Structure 1
């Protein structure tokens, strides 16, 4: 693969863009404004488009400049972290596990799913939360060792991904002291009489909950919808309404949040998966996450 531009020139452009102008960029680089300006012009000539344009007394990014900045934002922070990473590599032994946690996976459950490896000596755990599809893309590029999610990876001929079941958990409804008695009385019909909190549609659990409420003939007042399950539990604990959660987190919901289990969401389960790039898992810590591992 050939390249028609200099990474040094791209770095100068990146610093100028991040600092908001040639003068501040040159100051950070310890170079003259004329030198930095010339380097950025050479980059523009090599790529064939303008990256900066006049804006008042200063400069602004063109559309191409914004695209270049997005790419540079992925390249140079990694480069700047290189000395620290090398020092870590030689200073102490470590076992590295890079995990993507889907935004739809309950956070209280994520900790329990990782429990089999958390006592590993010299473990260095890097956990990234993001949207499901974005995490699968990072996994396919081998930026992650595994993705924990509430659903399996969808079939995709362009991505060779394998979903390994980590089990499942029944779902129950929980409420703070404010609503516990009212929600528990004549459950589940009582849910129509108290405010309800639900996960947003991004969670795989949401369609199952909607179907369960429909089958029960319930029309509930949804007081809030949350993408983050920890926020859902927090607002529920503060008395905003009753909400559903995986029973596997029951002890933490009771002890940490002071919540009461008011009734079971019979027939509804939360599913958990570890998604990797290998049909036969080779990473030793990922193998330990799997049942029987």
Structure 2
């Protein structure tokens, strides 16, 4: 079994960047910390740090161990805060994974029901690829995952995918582009520079199929996993871009662009994915039972 005091010394050193800095923070001698980390490495049969010049850096194993240490000690700190606080001040941890295909403003609206509960909630959001987030969900390091697709069938996880929102797709362009393209939508997309979501986005295939059906062939000038980055390029006039219709007003006001058209033939859907063990978490229940939003 891991000696958690030694593991804490490892964590503190990794976060501080050196044994000397960690020793000052922990009010211990550098010799004590280095000795305890050496004992931890010997007991586990691994090297967590390696020497680089006069300093140290994490090994690949050390970097992996640090991700677990972050969760362990952040949870421990939250537990201590909860136990020390009065009953009215206690907050419950709610750990959410957000697929990078989900626009951040959409994520906020979907998570909002959890923030208005009578029981205080402390939310921890992590963003990443869906496959990685589902792995975290499977070992209960996350309570919920927001995604633009349901849980893939190849994942052997006992869980549920609850559809939270469905809406059409709108297209936007910088005002300079709008002035020079007079064709009606969607034919103005033909031969036009187009920015599209990355291949991991569920809406990407539906968008391309719709364009092919209409025999519209835009010039794909950029692919983006991050929707916010795609909008920034669109705002700069690099090309036309799309976004869920439900956030049209927000896109126009934030990026000073013009909506050139919309379609309900290409639908974006957003899901809350949870596992049985976390299904009764009050924040998960609140999100899954909130009125559905369809635009």
Which category describes the TM-score, using the shorter chain as reference length?
0.7 to 0.9
Match of 1:209 among 195, 204, 207: 207
Tell me, yes or no, if the aligned pair for 1:100 and 1:128 is still in contact at 8 Å.
Answer: yes
Give the unaligned 5+ runs of structure 2: none
d(CA) in 1 for partners of 2:51, 2:254: 55
**DSSP-derived class of the 1:25 partner:** helix
Match for residue 286 of structure 1? Answer: 287
d(CA) in 2 for partners of 1:280, 1:34: 43
Number of residues of Structure 1 aligned to a counterpart in Structure 2: 289
Moved segments of 4+, more than 6 Å: none
* Cα distance, 1:79 vs structure 2: 3.1
* Cα distance, 1:168 vs structure 2: 1.7
Please give the residue correspondences for 1:190-269 in structure 2 after superposition, counting only pairs within 5 Å. 190-265=188-263, 267-269=265-267
* Cα distance, 1:48 vs structure 2: 3.0
* Cα distance, 1:255 vs structure 2: 4.0
Tell me, yes or no, if the aligned pair for 2:82 and 2:90 is still in contact at 8 Å.
Answer: no
d(CA) in 1 for partners of 2:90, 2:22: 38
Tell me, yes or no, if the aligned pair for 2:167 and 2:264 is still in contact at 8 Å.
Answer: no
Match for residue 104 of structure 2? Answer: 107
Match for residue 175 of structure 1? Answer: 173
* Cα distance, 1:160 vs structure 2: 0.7
Match for residue 29 of structure 2? Answer: 32
Match for residue 75 of structure 1? Answer: 72
Structure index of larger Rg: 1
* Cα distance, 1:275 vs structure 2: 1.6
Match for residue 40 of structure 2? Answer: 43
**DSSP-derived class of the 1:240 partner:** coil
Kindly tell me: are residues 29 and 277 of structure 1, through their superposed partners in 2, closer, same or farther at Cα, counting changes over 3 Å?
Answer: same
Match for residue 144 of structure 2? Answer: 146
Tell me, yes or no, if the aligned pair for 2:185 and 2:261 is still in contact at 8 Å.
Answer: yes
**DSSP-derived class of the 1:92 partner:** coil
- The alignment's TM-score, normalised by the length of structure 2, stands at 0.80
RMSD: 3.3
Question: Greater CA deviation, 156-165 or 268-277?
Answer: 156-165
